[in-house]
Amino acid sequence: MPFFELGSDELTPERLRGSVRWLSEKYERSVIYLDEIDQWGMHRADSDSHSPETRLVLAAALASIDGLVPAAGPIIVASSNRSPLALDPALVRSGRLGFHVKFGMPDPQERADLVRLFIGARPTEGPID
């Protein structure tokens, strides 16, 4: 499945709308990954976290996501270091980005397993601590 990443620092309303439209026409299914959505997706009641530009991006995101058909077109996956409660309720409601998965910090055993996984068969200087 084609995978496209749009960084929040390069996201504009036109780019988001155009990406969703282009992917819908070009591919039956694809993934758009929106990284760091808290840069523009914070709760609108928190006026300190929004500029006129971020409000436009949030409005474009809401409109773009509303036009998606669940059985076709792009799947939008977004990430944030914030709780979904800190994000705008209209963005994280069911039917938009309504499915939330929390990834916590790995425990010591999980960290060791990750290091071993990413090291693979590469030689190491002694055992992994």
- pLDDT band, residue 128 (cuts 50/70/90): low
Q: d(Cα 86, Cα 72) in Å, to the nearest integer?
A: 29
pLDDT in tens, 26-68: 888 888 888 888 877 877 776 666 677 777 777 777 777 765 5
- The pLDDT score that the predictor gives to residue 71 is 59
pLDDT in tens, 17-27: 788 888 888 88
128, 111 Cβ separation under 8 angstroms: no
Q: d(Cα 123, Cα 57) in Å, to the nearest integer?
A: 46
- The pLDDT score that the predictor gives to residue 37 is 84
- pLDDT band, residue 107 (cuts 50/70/90): very high
| Of 49 and 16, the one with more pLDDT | 16
- The pLDDT score that the predictor gives to residue 25 is 86
11, 32 Cβ separation under 8 angstroms: no
Rg, the chain, Cα only: 18
- The pLDDT score that the predictor gives to residue 2 is 86
